[in-house]
Chains A and B, each alone.
Chain A
Amino acid sequence: MLLRFLRLKQRQYTLNFKVCVHRLHTGRADRTFSHYDGLYPGHIITTPFQKALLAVGSGVVALQDPYRHDMVAVLGETTGHLVLINLRDRMRNDPEGYTVLTERPKIRLSTLDLEKMASLPDGSFGREYLRFLEDNEVTPDSRAEVKFVDDEELAYVMLRYREVHDLMHTLLGMPTNMLGEVAVKWFEAAQTGLPMCALGALLGPLRLNTRRLQSLFTSLGPWALQNGWQARCVLSIFYERRWDQSLEELRRELKIQPPPVDFTKRRKNGR
C-alpha cells in the first residue's frame, strides 16, 4: 500500500515536470486550451487537494441532480485510482482483455456499422444493442471524456468502462430508468469495486418508490450482485468483434444469468 502511494507520488512529480517542459514550448493554436493538455487530449492536471475537492463537490451535485452525468463521471475519476489499476491488471492477465488494451477500440457512432447491425438476426448481441439504443433514445457518443485520471492507460480503462456501461444494459436486459440504472450499478459495484459505483448503488435506491424498492431488494438486487461477483471481467471482452454472436451465448460465456424480470415484454405490452 505504502509502495503504491510512493510510486503514485513519484509519477505525479514526473508528470508535473513533463507538463512544465511541454508548457515552455507553447503553442498549438488549433485547440482552445492546448497548453493544458497533460498526458492525453482532455487531461487536466490536478493536485490531490483539488481531486479531493472535486470528489466532494461532484458527489454533492450528482446526488442533488442525477442527470448531471458529468458529475458522476468526475466522481468516478477522482475516487477510482486504485481500482482502475486493479481493473487494468485484470485486463492484462486476460488474453482478450490484453488485446483490448493494446488495440484500444472505441465505441462511437462513427465506428459502428449501424446498417450491418440492423440486419443481424433478432437475439444477436448487435441487434439487441441497437434495439436498446433505439428504445431508450440514447447514443454511444454521449459519454463524458476522461479528464482527471493521471495515467494514459488508466484513462483508457475508465473510458472503456463508460462505453461498456451501455452494453451492460443490453447484457443484463435493464432499461435506463432509475431502477434499471441502480440494478446495473449494483452489478458494476460487485464486478469492479469502483467507489463511485458503490456510492451510486447505496444512494440510488433513495430515489426509488416503494414498489420499485421492493423489486430491487427481493429479486433484481440479489441477482445483480450475484452475477457481478461470478461473471468474467466485462471490460476484457472485445465487444466490437462479437456483434453477430447470440446474446444468450454471450451471457453464458460471461456467466451472466438472464434477468428475473423481463422489461422488454413489459414495454411491448404495458406502455
Chain B
Amino acid sequence: MAASMRLLVRQLARLSHRKVTSTVSGVSCRSACCWRTSSGRCFSDAAEDRSTHFGFETVSEAEKAKRVYKVFENVAQKYDVMNDAMSLGIHRLWKDVLLHVMHPQPGARLLDVAGGTGDIAVRFLDYVRYQLERQKRRDTPSGQGSSWQDISDDRRRESSAVVCDINKEMLKMGKQKADRMGVVSGLSWVVGDAEELPFDDDQFDIYTIAFGIRNVTRMDQALQEALRVLKPGGRFMCLEFSKVTNPVLARLYDAYSFQVIPVLGEVIAGDWKSYQYLVESIRKFPNQQEFKGMMEDAGFYCVQHHDLTGGVVALHSGFKL
C-alpha cells in the first residue's frame, strides 16, 4: 500500500514537471515558427510541438521517430523468425500476392521503402528473372545460342531493386540474408528516410512499402515523396495491416494480437514491449477507405485497394500520371 502511494506521488510529480517543460518549449516554438512558411517542411522544433501516436500513447513527432528507430533496432535480429511465428508463415503469401498483382516486367526499377530485411526486393528480382527466362525460351527456338543482339537486349532489360530503410540494423540483417541466398546483382541497400528520400525525381517504375508506412511519422510526407521519385506512369503499392470488417474475425484477430503476439515477442525475441507497440500501431493506422483518400490527396490516380485474409492486410495501389 505504501509502495503504491509512493509510486502515485512520483507520477504526479513527474506529470506536473512535464506540463511545465512542454509549456515552455511550446511558447518558444510558436515564436520561432511564426516567420516560417507553412508549406515548407517544418523544422524539428515544430515536430516537438505537434503530437502523434506511438501505439496507444501520445507523443511528440520527434519522439515517435526516435522510439520507432529503437524498436526496429531491437527487433532486427529476430525480425524474420517473429514474422513467421506471428503470422504462421502467411506473411510470405501476402508478399507473393503483392508481386503477382505488381506483375513487373524485365527492365523495371523498383524502390522498396522501409524494405528492412529485403523480402520484397528479393522476390521482385526472382520474379523478373523468371519472366526473362520465360521470354527467352519463347523467343529463341531451341538449338540456337544467344546472339550479341540478345545479350545487349538483356543488359537493357536488366532490372534493379533498391532497398531503402531508415534503420541500419534492419538493412544489415537484410544484406546478410541476401548474401546467404546468393542474390547479389541488381540489389542495392540505401539508408534513407521515407519522408525525405535520397533520390532524384522520376527515377523508379515501382515504389513499394510493405508493412512500413504505419511506422512513418508523417504519412502524407511519405506519400508525396513516393509521388516525386516515381516516373510518370509509375506505380505505388502499399501492403499494410488494415481493418477487419467481419466482426467475428475481428474479435478473434484482436484477441490474438493482444494476448498472443506480445507473449511470442517475449519468448522468441525477449522483447515484449516492441511487439506490444507493433500491435497497437496496427490499430492506429487509418482504414482502407481513409488511406485511399490520403493517396488521392497526395496526387495518385486510379487508387484501388484489395483486402487479403479478410481485411487483416490491405493492398493499396495507385499511379502517377
Binding site for B on A (CB under 8 A): 18, 22-23, 25-29, 32-36, 39-40, 44, 47, 49-50, 53-54, 57-58, 61, 68, 70-71, 74, 147, 152-153
Contact = CB atoms under 8 A, between A and B. Distances in A.
B217 to A, nearest CB: 15
A35 B276 CA distance: 12
B59 interface: yes
A53 B4 CA distance: 28
A22 B59 contact: no
| B7, B264, B277: most-surrounded residue (chain A CB, <10 A) | B7
B4 A29 contact: no
Given A39-B7, A50-B263, A54-B267, A32 B70 contact: yes
Contacts of B264: 57
B14 interface: yes
Given A18-B4, A40-B7, A71-B267, A26 B273 contact: no
B267 A33 contact: no
Main secondary structure of the interface of B (DSSP, over half): helix
Nearest to B264: A57
Contacts of B57: 26-27, 34-35
Contact of A61 (B15, B262, B267): B267
B23 interface: no
Contacts of B266: 54, 57-58, 74
B293 to A, nearest CB: 28
Contacts of B273: 32-33, 36, 44
A39 B18 contact: no
A26 B263 contact: no
Main secondary structure of the interface of A (DSSP, over half): helix
Interface string B246-263: 000000000000011011
A36 B276 contact: yes
B7 to A, nearest CB: 7
Contacts, number: 68
B11 A49 contact: no
Contact of A53 (B18, B56, B70, B263): B263
Contacts of B60: 29
A26 B270 contact: no
Contacts of B67: 32
Contacts of A35: 56-57
Contacts of B18: 27-29
B301 interface: no
Interface in B9-26: 11, 14-15, 18
B189 interface: no
B290 to A, nearest CB: 24
A22 B11 CA distance: 8
B135 interface: no
Interface in B29-66: 56-60, 63
A27 B58 contact: yes
Given A54-B267, A71-B267, A27 B15 contact: yes
Given A35-B57, A44-B272, A54 B63 contact: no
A153 B267 contact: no
Nearest to B66: A32
Contacts of B101: none
Contact of B263 (A36, A57, A152): A57
B3 interface: yes
Nearest to B260: A53
Nearest to A23: B56
Contacts of B56: 23, 35
| A18, A32, A39, A70: most-surrounded residue (chain B CB, <10 A) | A32
A109 to B, nearest CB: 22
B270 A70 contact: yes
